[in-house]
Amino acid sequence: MRFLDLVATSAAVSATSGRRAKVELLAAALRGLAPDEIPAGSAYLAGELRQRQTGVGYAALRELPPPAAQPVLTVTDVDTAIDAIAAVAGPGSQARRRELLGRLFTAATADEQQMLVRLFSGELRQGAQAGLLADAIARAAEVPLPAVRRALLLTGDLKMVAATALTGGAAALGEITLRVGRPLAPMLAQSAPSVDQALAVTGTPAVVDVKLDGIRIQVHRSGDEIAVFTRSLDEITSRVPEVVAAVRTLPAREIVLDGEAIALDAAGRPRPFQETASRAATRAATRGARPSATAGLSAEVAAEQSANEPVRSFGAAPVGPAAPADRATPTDSATTTGRAGHQEPATPVGPAPAQLPAPVRPAPAAPAVRAAAGSTGTSVLTPYFFDLLHLDGTDLLDAPGRERWAALAETVAAPQLVGRVTVENVLAAADAFAAALDAGQEGVVVKSPDAPYEAGRRGGGWIKVKPRHTLDLVVLAVEWGSGRRRGLLSNLHLGARDPDTGGFVMLGKTFKGLTDELLRWQTERFLELAVERGDWVVRVRPEQVVEIAFDGVQTSPRYPGGMALRFARVVRYRDDKSAAEADTIDMVRAIHTGRVGG
């Protein structure tokens, strides 16, 4: 297939508003790919390159050669050229890479050049189309959508699933199962405002787990090989030797565990979340720039690691796509900006327009994270496990919770298990909730003992209950501050993800909760993400996720979704989530109608 045909499909999908029409366009393009073109072609349609790392940065994309007059490139030509660029290494590699890049761009028409720039820069990676591709694959391959979804959740690899479905059909898809060493999308939780509402969904008896405010870990072990993955399926094995050491002692040959790792103080109370996050440095990881093996490790832990046998993890690094699709009036205080009386017009907010991409390099960690990284000389992560997905040849994904947890309790010693009680009624659940909060934990997760492990799903099997509402939203633009905040980017425009369009729906603004240090950090960060620098508003690529506390959701004609957050304030920047994992507008609607808590 000609590369230009994929460029045209991508443009047509962006210009079309209906989900069904977008899926049809994508399915038609998928059908047109030859079998060996499917991995690269499906990646381009999802806004990604097939190669995880290319070594091509923003500087190399700034000056392009004149475009070709006629389209000559095929999908295979582009993929082969990028393979060659990615393989360049050693002395003189920069010049060689530029030469190969120049050759590729010289052969590309203006439209193709623009698409290539956006693919290389990661600008399309937000998943505008990735969420639609599962549907498109199902349609093109004439296989049931649930079969495609399941395969995607079990492998996290859209290219592989596209190729399997289109060449082998439903039978080949059905053969994809959990594989030890390959991360699968973690099960997610719904929210409820109280434990009684959570129990209303799960029924009784239910299990009430302590909700630890750490980082999600999925640990795979096969014999001596151990790999640890984050919530977004990035491998962090070398950064968490304590987790590796704990799993090495388990009496199992093959095991896949789900849990949370958290930094604790001497009294066993949780350290601030940023301290845990700094150890995993997941933002660097999710951006494809893999952290160095010991960067951010405490001296103590690094010494321990080098003293022990080296960490051996499963062969190649995993393909790490975003986790599969799914996870204000602004009150007067929230809308009052540096410019008195200004009201933001109610314009829908979609993906950033095609403009020069910002530098492709890992973003700096948020200041609290940086501060913690410098001060955690003795910070040690403790793993706590709450689920078991595979044990010595037996897949447990489809087994009910009670069976998985019984096997977990037989395999993992009690101190390494998440605090858990089985409750028969609301009173007992309320006691467990109060005890978790007293212990300094974030809340509880109420779980149905009948539910299977639903990879990648935010089903009714797990319901989290926290004492306050929060949403993980995406920053769409920022306003310059005034007065004390002059020269700093201050008022954040917040958006929820719209899974139907791949864009974001603005819900309001806030400049509350920002410390001086955070203001300085976000000014630097958002200038880096800027796509349009106004004197008053700076529009940014929708990439930075921020956790926002709020007091409720109210009807507001001022914003495109017809809703706004009340008393929105910044809790922290979420470095462990990509924009594709931000909370959705459907979630906000559910809070608005009182169906769930934040």
Task: Enumerate binding residues for ligand ATP (CB under 6 A).
Answer: 188-189, 209-212, 216, 231, 260, 327, 386, 418, 445, 464
Q: Which is nearer to ligand ATP, 260 or 454 (CB)?
A: 260
Is 125 annotated in a binding site? The answer is no
Q: Which is nearer to ligand ATP, 210 or 579 (CB)?
A: 210
Residue 211 C-beta: closest distance to ligand ATP, Å: 4
Q: Which residues are CB-neighbours of 251 under 8 A, at least 6 positions away? A: 411
Is 139 annotated in a binding site? The answer is no
**Is the peptide bond preceding residue 183 cis, with omega within 30 degrees of 0?**
no
Q: Work out the burial of residue 306: count CB atoms within 10 Å of its CB; fewer than 13 is exposed, 13-18 middle, 19 or more buried.
A: exposed
Distance from C-alpha of 285 to C-alpha of 362, rounded to nearest angstrom = 8
Instruction: Classify the C-alpha dihedral 495-498-504-505 as positive or negative.
Output: negative
Please choose, from the candidates 352, 361, 475, 292, the residue with its C-alpha nearest in 3D space to the C-alpha of residue 120: 361
Residue 211 annotated to the active site: yes
Q: Which is nearer to ligand ATP, 26 or 212 (CB)?
A: 212
Which ranges in 187-240 belong to alpha helices (H)? 195-202
H/E stretch holding 504: strand 504-510
Region label for 159, one of left (φ > 0), alpha (ψ between -120 and 50) or beta (otherwise): alpha
Region label for 576, one of left (φ > 0), alpha (ψ between -120 and 50) or beta (otherwise): alpha
Please choose, from the candidates 127, 33, 129, 123, the residue with its C-alpha nearest in 3D space to the C-alpha of residue 78: 33
Q: Which is nearer to ligand ATP, 11 or 437 (CB)?
A: 437
Distance from C-alpha of 75 to C-alpha of 426, rounded to nearest angstrom = 58
Is 19 annotated in a binding site? The answer is no
Beta strands 504-510; 489-497: pairing state = antiparallel
Q: What is the dihedral of CA 575, 576, 582, 588, to 10 degrees?
A: -90
Residue 243 C-beta: closest distance to ligand ATP, Å: 14
Q: Which is nearer to ligand ATP, 147 or 432 (CB)?
A: 432
Is 209 annotated in a binding site? The answer is yes
Is 386 annotated in a binding site? The answer is yes
Residue 507 C-beta: closest distance to ligand ATP, Å: 17
Is 269 annotated in a binding site? The answer is no
Residue 317 C-beta: closest distance to ligand ATP, Å: 22
Is 520 annotated in a binding site? The answer is no
Helices 75-87 and 93-106 pack at an angle, to 10 degrees, of 170
Q: Which is nearer to ligand ATP, 18 or 467 (CB)?
A: 467
Q: Which is nearer to ligand ATP, 133 or 582 (CB)?
A: 582
DSSP-assigned states of every residue in 399-432: S-HHHHHHHHHHHS-GGGBPPEEEESSHHHHHHH
Choosing from 211, 447, 509, 577, the catalytic residue is 211
Residue 511 C-beta: closest distance to ligand ATP, Å: 22
* Residue numbers belonging to the annotated binding site: 209, 216, 231, 260, 386, 458, 464
* Residue numbers belonging to the annotated binding site for ATP: 209, 216, 231, 260, 386, 458, 464
Catalytic residue ranges: 211
